[in-house]
Structure 1
């Protein structure tokens, strides 16, 4: 099987067979992100993808999950996605789910019928990056879409019956916009009510533009306590009954996990304990992406 560059995938795809359907990210201009920088975005030749899948079917016929990489493989034209999913259905009898990253733009370009067709062919989860529910924060980090557009994309995925996983980034508004970021992100999650919510914490690496702003004094990072307060405010503005919530990534200062709204108060209590000095934060040297 061929694969170009470094591999990036959602944490929940750790045991999945990863097959590269596109190379790089179709946007790749977010100021905080260091992923895919060594790659020029392009669609892989369809026959190469199908050949890779056929080869892997011979080696790993019992695989239960497949993830189509790289960033935003959902941007592929429908005929390519249908061919890929059809081959997976034919050759991987044990496959229970195919996952994919989807940018708001690629989701909104697909019709409701397109998304339903992909779901019927086996697309079992779409990973969408919200990053922030604040339009000002999204503008500053060059996300390329507004909060309303991202929410609309998420709702479109859900309407097609496809499970939706959405991530946001603690600290993305810095000290200047932390409250706007917290409130707006909580409200955006409330509007989408994703099946899964993932909350990461900003960690700058790879000489990205936001790191240069930080070094120049134009952006102030949040510390552990400020991040805990931001998360608390975010949860206060979140009403997502049934959403699985995870903030237990290696980048997070405090590990939180639960199901909303059932475990909301418990997680908020954990944050208050930390803010009162009665719980430890992950050390800076132990944080990672």
Structure 2
């Protein structure tokens, strides 16, 4: 292989892992950071913080690779995904599986730097990440399963910082599951027409004409759960201000999806990055002002 060919392979692997679109990293990272700051009461261990940040990048990349492998027969028929490396024939399925294994092993090597409880939990996280892409064949709730997988960083973060998983962690975990269910439904609304044609299942299809109302109810529940976390964690007014700011972003997202236009639904999905950010800022500043 000459240098140009190597650069082309590297480019295709970069695209396969969706490192050109970091939104997935951000919305996976925010819950991990929420949990690390809450579990450590504002002073996360730097080694643990590094492991989780690097682990999020690696596991999100691995998740994208195995997702495209699982969807290799569907993606060529969906407008938004037909040019992805596997669907376009630029990366083989064998290459994809090798990359998935390498990324997963790197993430596991990082977890070995943490305590036994966290290492044990990592096996559950790896199973969830690897199995999620296949759920859309069997259930209309793959978005909920995504939340279970994405949110697994929450109990892991508490385990890493405290060697325990208190009630607060589980309440936060449920909030993160529901949050992922909401934003991934917005994402699924973009592909709804194509998914109906090829038989892929999603909550966007399951919810039907009640999609906005159901997501609105879930968003109210998410805010309630976050407020409960604040109560259990004895947080101050800055935390609650951050959650209220997050509620404002939820209202804006409802406005974006009102007409169910594809571009606006995708914009609503992207806007969830700001929700995650303002909640995180509220947590950090609440501990800082004490």
TM-score bracket, normalised by the shorter chain, equals 0.3 to 0.5
Whichever structure has more helix as a proportion of its residues is 2
TM norm structure 2 = 0.35
Q: Which has the higher contact order (CA 8 A, sep 6+)?
A: 2
Whichever structure has more strand as a proportion of its residues is 1
